Amino acid sequence: EDDPRSFAEREVADRLAKLACLRLWMAYRGVEEVDSIPDEEVEARAEALSKETGWPLPTVGKMILYDGKTGEPYDQPVTVGVIQMMKLAHLVEDKVHARSTGPYSLVTQQPLGGKAQFGGQRFGEMEVWALEAYGAAYTLQEMLTVKSDDVQGRVKTYEAIVKGEPIGEPGIPASFRVLVRELQSLGLEVEVITDSGEILRFGKEAERTRPPKLGLGLLSFSGE
């Protein structure tokens, strides 16, 4: 059990115990009125008595140990006692986990995290930087689309793997659609233009008749 006291409190307690032990030792050796000796002089008086008489100083919980090779004593007393240790039961067999498909978050459409939820391995911002540094563009694209929140792409990829067919192109991840919604909430219109020139629009704007654009990039208002 951990000692709830602070380091300073334990230091004070250890010092008081040491002074009490030295006073008892000096009283046992015939020194009179040991209680009247100031605390700051107890250690000096005890060391002087030890040098005069050759009696070894008492040690609280410590013993003089000897080098097994030379037989000479160590220069400092060594704490001797029973130590209580707790074994951490973190075993590999309890940690190993794998997933092909599984549950997804209803909010982000990304895989859940943790073995308990049968989730996927987290691939965060710094891991993205690592793949960018290596130039692993295709691996990075796979991590951010079909292995994450590309809802249609991950279903098609799984079917292609099961049927042994080539894996198709990834789609648009759900996180990008969330970003588009946030930009639309600011009054900004976002559209994606593919390599073939096809324009992809998001949300209700794709179902409406869009007003013509002026040369300045502003929306025109038609009225009769």
**Is there a single domain that holds both residue 119 and residue 58?**
no
**Is the Cβ–Cβ distance between 145 and 175 less than 8 Å?**
no
pLDDT tens for residues 171-192?
889 998 889 889 989 999 888 8
Neighbours of 172 (CB within 10 A): 17
Which of 125, 124, 128 is CA-nearest to residue 136? Answer: 128
Per the listing, tokens 């911002």 go with: 125
Query: 94 lies in a domain?
Result: no
Q: What is the pLDDT of residue 215?
A: 39
Q: What is the pLDDT of residue 4?
A: 60
3 state DSSP class of 191: strand
Q: How many domains is the chain partitioned into structurally?
A: 2
Instruction: Return the C-alpha torsion angle 19, 20, 21, 27, nearest 10.
Output: 110
Q: What is the pLDDT of residue 56?
A: 81
Tokens linked to 136: 């692993």
Range of the domain at 200: 109-207
Query: 192 lies in a domain?
Result: yes
CA gap 144, 125 in Å, rounded: 11
Burial class (CB in 10 A: 0-12, 13-18, 19+), 67: exposed
More confident residue, 105 or 9: 105
More confident residue, 37 or 129: 129
Query: 159 lies in a domain?
Result: yes
**Is the Cβ–Cβ distance between 102 and 111 less than 8 Å?**
yes
Query: 101 lies in a domain?
Result: no
Q: What is the pLDDT of residue 218?
A: 39
Query: 127 lies in a domain?
Result: yes
Domain of 149: which CATH number?
A: 3.90.1800
Please report, rounded to a whole number, the percentage of residues in the chain having pLDDT higher than 90. 37
**Is the Cβ–Cβ distance between 112 and 118 less than 8 Å?**
yes
Q: Tell me the average pLDDT across 15-44.
A: 87
